[in-house]
Amino acid sequence: MLHLCQMRLLKRSIHSNRLPVILAILVVAIYFINAAPGSLWKKVDNGLFIGEFLSPQKSVTGDSKIIIVKIDPRKYELKLLTASEYKHSNLTINQWCKKYNLIAGINAGMFQGDYSSNVGYMKNFNHTNNSKINSKYLSAAAFNPVDKSKAGFRIFDIDETKIKDILNNYRTVIQNLRLIKRPGKNRWSQQSKKWSEAALGQDREGNILFIFSRSPFSMHDLNKILLKLPIRLVCAQHLEGGPEASLFFSHNGMKLELVGSFETGFNEDNENTAFWPIPNVLGIIKRN
């Protein structure tokens, strides 16, 4: 396995000629529908909301806004799509969503130097993207339960629930770095490194949260910010940082194209305007 810094340099060389996103960087057309004045969440559809929150702590660059898509897993099906399973080249997040008719999509996790395998364990039904459990990655997102009495979606803390039990109970499991441990504990120590962030969270009601901040923060600070926001967050895992962080949303006239940029030691500016091709994504579709 390549060192993460080496992986970053390789990725940068590949994407040095990337094209800009045709539409706006952050929000192509933010307008909120069906929302009462002062509402924290703007309803897009039943069980589907978007929140835009201004961080109380200002970032070193950008607008310091955090965008969150809140998804009711009873009304929307979460899907893991990987280039290794579907046997095609990596796609940008908007291409993934268009190809597979996803309402929204976000990175599924950091990937290794083969530009395919997740850094943590990853399986989807009968397809295994990475069979190796990463002992340093203490968060596992699980869905598609074997037993319907189990929660349809849950982010587990591997130091509290054995990974073996999670794998036995769920058909789809994604292991990533932990940001916030249940029930709302900041588990990232302070560091000088900052980056744009794409994260996966869960709130007290069990909703899925796609979390995106183009403005860079240290993960310790971002965790503190998220826990102070009125979003009832109980846990979260890191998906991707820097220019590869991506979130796309298109439904009922609402369209978001969110792309990261800043990453300490790799891309220290706010100039990236392009989605980068990625191998693994989380997406949502409406349940029948």
pLDDT tens string 201-250? 999 999 999 999 999 999 999 999 999 999 999 999 999 999 999 999 99
Q: Mean of the pLDDT values across residues 190-208?
A: 98
Q: Peptide bond preceding 183: is omega within 30 degrees of 0, i.e. cis?
A: yes
- Determine the structural domain holding residue 226 and report its residue range: 4-11+41-118+174-286
Q: Mean of the pLDDT values across residues 70-80?
A: 98
Helices of type H across 15-148: 83-86, 93-99
The pLDDT-based confidence of 15 (bands split at 50, 70, 90) is: low
> Using one digit for the tens of pLDDT, what is the confidence trace for 83-113?
999 999 999 999 999 999 999 999 999 999 9
In the predicted model, is pLDDT for residue 40 greater than 90?
no
Distance between CA atoms of residues 276 and 240, nearest Å: 12
Collapsing DSSP states into helix, strand and coil, what is residue 5?
helix
pTM over 0.75: yes
pLDDT, residue 12, reads 53
Pairing assessment for the beta strands 170-176 and 153-157 based on DSSP bridges: unpaired
In a domain, 214, yes or no: yes
In a domain, 19, yes or no: no
Please state, in angstroms and as integers, the Cα–Cα distance from residue 257 to each residue in 4, 95, 247, 260, following that order. Answer: 26, 12, 6, 10
pLDDT, residue 33, reads 40
Which of 155, 218, 215 shows the shortest CA–CA distance to 181? 155
Distance between CA atoms of residues 122 and 167, nearest Å: 10
In a domain, 211, yes or no: yes
Greatest CA separation for the chain: 51
* Other CB atoms within 10 Å distance of the CB of residue 265: 12
In a domain, 163, yes or no: no
In a domain, 207, yes or no: yes
pLDDT, residue 216, reads 98
Residue type, 61: T
**Structural domain count, the chain:** 1
If you search the block for the tokens 């130091």, which residue do you land on?
159
Distance between CA atoms of residues 282 and 268, nearest Å: 27
In a domain, 105, yes or no: yes
Local structure of residue 21 (DSSP, 8 states): P
pLDDT, residue 54, reads 96
In the predicted model, is pLDDT for residue 138 greater than 50?
yes
Q: Tell me which H or E stretch contains 198.
A: strand 195-203
Considering the chain, what percentage of its residues have pLDDT values greater than 70? 86
pLDDT, residue 277, reads 98
In contact, 261 and 272? CB cutoff 8 Å: yes
* Other CB atoms within 10 Å distance of the CB of residue 271: 11
In contact, 80 and 118? CB cutoff 8 Å: no
Average pLDDT, the chain: 90
In a domain, 250, yes or no: yes
Q: Give the number of residues written for the chain.
A: 288
In a domain, 113, yes or no: yes
pLDDT, residue 11, reads 55
In contact, 105 and 282? CB cutoff 8 Å: yes
Local structure of residue 262 (DSSP, 8 states): -
